[in-house]
Amino acid sequence: MLSAMRSTRRQRQGEFPPAPQPLAVPVVDSHTHLDITVAEEGTPGGVAQLVALAAAAGVDRLVQVGVDVESSRWSAEIAAEQPAVVATVALHPNEAPRLDDLDEALRVIEGLAAGDRVRGIGETGMDTFRTGGEGRAAQEASFRAHIAIAKRHGKALVIHDRDAHSDILRILDDEGAPDTVVLHCFSGDADFAAECVRRGYVLSFAGTVTFANAVTLRDAARVTPIKQLLVETDAPYLTPMPYRGRPNASYLVPLTVRALAEATGADLDELCAAISATGDRVFGPW
């Protein structure tokens, strides 16, 4: 389970960071992996604890993201149990080349996509960092299939894009993008951000935007209208500063939101209200 994502476990050390000052205006964590967080970080109270900690920090809604068949099923189930959680389902782009029967896995994802608490198809996309040329065809075929599923079910498409900006745009142009597209953990520069904004896509920024060397990400955030901006943890990964390298969870979203407000010059409460409204537009109502 989740083999596509677990290779970064060794990079996280120590305990969960202390809770930051809560946000006055609640926001949504648009991308988290509660299953991986619980399994790998030993969260004693499980999902309920993570949801409660997030709510206390002003993060009152969470999007639980599937990355393979098993985690997608789990995501749909936990969203049915937790009112604060909705789900997305998909095969991660690094998972697709490893499957013996990609078509069968896609059929399962299609079935899950019909669920009321499933609000997005993702994370899907392209990743040329971990998957070499031998896996590129399967990755692209999977991405194209997920685009079609998102359009058939009227759900948001949640894109994983690692070192593949031009391929992402090319494939979206070929297939025709769904009405709602989210660039998860946006990793491009200001020019790529402007192109995505022009196409109406939503850019979701993770804790990476707080890193000292992330000047290009902050530049990208500055050219993104706040109505096309989301925030995420990608927990348990990408913990924002000053806790980079420790486990991440949704209650740490305020650190990223405050960094975005500082980078863009936006009023914090106005930014939070915009993120909240965009979360409801893309994934809601909860």
Identify which of 84, 67, 66 has the alpha carbon closest to the alpha carbon of residue 75.
66
259 assigned to some structural domain:
yes
Residue 50's domain comprises 25-283
- Name the residue type at position 206: A
SS3 110: helix
Task: Specify the residue for token string 């209200």.
Answer: 273
Confidence at residue 41, expressed as pLDDT on a 0 to 100 scale:
87
Each residue's pLDDT tens digit, 68-93: 999 999 999 999 999 999 999 999 99
Confidence at residue 12, expressed as pLDDT on a 0 to 100 scale:
64
64 assigned to some structural domain:
yes
9 assigned to some structural domain:
no
State yes or no: 191 annotated in a binding site: no
83 assigned to some structural domain:
yes
Q: What is the CATH number of the domain that holds 34?
A: 3.20.20.140
State yes or no: 165 annotated in a binding site: no
State yes or no: 234 annotated in a binding site: yes
What's the residue count for the chain? 286
Is residue 214 within 8 A of residue 193, CB to CB? The reply is no
Helices and strands in the chain: count of H runs, count of E runs? 10, 8
Q: How far apart are CA 103 and CA 90, in angstroms?
A: 13
16 assigned to some structural domain:
no
State yes or no: 123 annotated in a binding site: yes
276 assigned to some structural domain:
yes
State yes or no: 160 annotated in a binding site: yes
Counted domains in the chain: 1
Contacts of 169 (CB under 8 A, 6+ apart): 195
165 assigned to some structural domain:
yes
State yes or no: 146 annotated in a binding site: no
Each residue's pLDDT tens digit, 208-265: 999 999 999 999 999 999 999 999 999 999 999 999 999 999 999 999 999 999 999 9
pLDDT by residue for the chain (286 residues), tens only, comes to: 444 454 444 456 789 999 999 999 999 999 999 999 999 988 888 999 999 999 999 999 999 999 999 999 999 999 999 999 999 999 999 999 999 999 999 999 999 999 999 999 999 999 986 766 677 899 999 999 999 999 999 999 999 999 999 999 999 999 999 999 999 999 999 999 999 999 999 999 999 999 999 999 999 999 999 999 999 999 999 999 999 999 999 999 999 999 999 999 999 999 999 999 999 999 989 9
14 assigned to some structural domain:
no
